[in-house]
């Protein structure tokens, strides 16, 4: 009776969160972060337990075959949801349908050859293998695509691994004691479904928390970047400097300010769309030529900035020359223009500064150097005096 009540409550929990995941996915336009797959996984498992409650005890019947098939398909749906959450496109319906058909056929074959005990033992074995694969996948993700979620991933690995252990124990009990080990009055069944309820109670809110965290991180990243070029804006630049100088061994930084020469002429002659295209491609040039770890930003208009971290005078000189030359060689193809657009840039370089609060002074120095370069004929590199 206790296990039956727990399974009933588990069904309601799974179906409730299936609806919630589906609604969250509907609200997420574009990237749904795997919520549709998580919703389907909950719905599959909830439906499997509904069939278990309605189908009576363990045995050979259509409800039992469908129950086992839905149970086996559930981890695959969750796995696809996890892949989509981390930005890895993964098909859902075709693999699920293929697995469902294959496992239904396997059940018929095992039932015919070895009987119902073997069929239930097969279910336990397959679930153990699937949960083992999921646990190893989560551990691997902690070192690769989920480095920023190590605590959450460690919790998931622990919970999923525990579920694999529980299924392994169930398989052993079925082999040793037959179908009586699956009776809802059996002590292990009570423990098994209490663990499942605990798992469902932990995982569903954890998934919602991960979605909220991902959305918050994306909002923070959006607020720190220029929408046209995706370079850092001033807010993102300050955050990057705070991270750099927050390390005790951090060295000084130098600021390069770049201004595109005669950019207004491009907008007036070819239109603002052509100007935006030029800005986007110049941003790509700066990203490609900056050193790893340097901060590339667009403060506004046709001005760009590169903060060189831990660079000596020679390193800054080489970077300024490389960027200046790359922009000079850039040819921007504009629809409707008879020939590619070309532009040059004037670069101003600040003196070294040693903290985020030195950014304003560095900008003033680099700006002053830049305007000296403009006055001296443009397309040149000037250093702060």
Q: 21 is written with which tokens?
A: 């995941």
From residue 375, how far is each of 2, 76, 209, 247, 321 by CA, in Å? 86, 65, 55, 39, 19
Quote the Cα angle for 304-309-315, to 5°: 85
**What 8-state DSSP symbol labels residue 180?**
G
Strand, coil or helix: 271 = coil
Q: Is residue 302 annotated as part of the catalytic site, yes or no?
A: yes
How far apart are alpha carbons 58 and 66 in whole angstroms? Answer: 13
Q: Where are the alpha helices (DSSP H) in 143-271?
A: 150-177, 187-223, 234-245, 263-270
How far apart are alpha carbons 93 and 267 in whole angstroms? Answer: 49
**Phi, psi (5° rounding) for residue 247?**
-85, 135
Quote the Cα angle for 317-368-327, to 5°: 45
Query: How far apart, in Å, do the first and last CA atoms of the chain sit?
Result: 85
How far apart are alpha carbons 334 and 24 in whole angstroms? Answer: 41
Q: Residue 53, class by beta-carbon neighbours within 10 Å (0-12 exposed, 13-18 middle, 19+ buried)? A: middle
How far apart are alpha carbons 172 and 125 in whole angstroms? Answer: 9
How far apart are alpha carbons 351 and 256 in whole angstroms? Answer: 10
Given 302, 303, 365, 382, which residue is catalytic?
Answer: 302
How far apart are alpha carbons 177 and 191 in whole angstroms? Answer: 17
Residues recognised as catalytic = 302
């Amino acid at each position: 009776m206790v296990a039956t009540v727990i399974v009933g409550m588990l069904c309601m929990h799974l179906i409730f969160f299936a609806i919630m995941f589906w609604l969250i996915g509907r609200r997420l336009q574009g990237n749904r972060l795997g919520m549709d797959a998580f919703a389907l996984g909950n719905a599959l498992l909830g439906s499997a337990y509904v069939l278990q409650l309605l189908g009576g005890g363990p045995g050979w019947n259509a409800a039992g075959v469908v129950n086992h098939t839905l149970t086996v398909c559930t981890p695959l749906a969750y796995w696809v949801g996890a892949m989509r959450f981390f930005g890895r496109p993964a098909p859902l319906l075709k693999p699920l349908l293929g697995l469902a058909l294959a496992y239904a056929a396997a059940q018929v074959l095992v039932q015919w050859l070895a009987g119902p005990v073997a069929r239930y033992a097969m279910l336990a074995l397959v679930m153990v293998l699937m949960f083992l694969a999921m646990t190893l996948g989560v551990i691997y993700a902690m070192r690769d695509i989920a480095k920023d979620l190590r605590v959450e991933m460690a919790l998931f690995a622990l919970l999923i691994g525990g579920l694999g252990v529980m299924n392994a124990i169930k398989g052993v009990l079925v082999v040793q004691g037959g179908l009586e080990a699956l009776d809802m009055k059996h002590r292990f069944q009570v423990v098994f479904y209490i663990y499942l309820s605990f798992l469902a109670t932990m995982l569903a809110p954890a998934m919602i928390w991960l979605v909220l965290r991902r959305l918050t991180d994306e909002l923070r990243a959006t607020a720190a970047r220029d929408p046209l070029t995706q370079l850092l804006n001033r807010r993102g630049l300050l955050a990057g400097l705070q991270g750099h100088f927050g390390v005790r061994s951090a060295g000084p930084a130098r600021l390069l300010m770049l201004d595109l020469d005669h950019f207004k002429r491009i907008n007036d002659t070819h239109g603002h769309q052509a100007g935006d295209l030029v800005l986007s491609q110049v941003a790509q040039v700066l990203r490609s030529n900056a050193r790893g770890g340097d901060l590339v930003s667009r403060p506004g208009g046709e001005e760009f900035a590169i903060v060189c971290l831990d660079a000596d005078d020679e390193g800054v000189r080489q970077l300024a020359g490389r960027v200046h030359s790359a922009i000079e060689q850039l040819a921007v193809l504009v629809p409707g223009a008879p020939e590619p657009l070309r532009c040059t840039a004037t670069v101003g370089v600040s003196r070294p500064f040693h903290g985020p609060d030195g950014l304003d002074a560095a900008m003033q120095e680099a700006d002053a150097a830049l305007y000296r370069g403009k006055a001296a004929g443009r397309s040149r590199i000037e250093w702060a005096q």
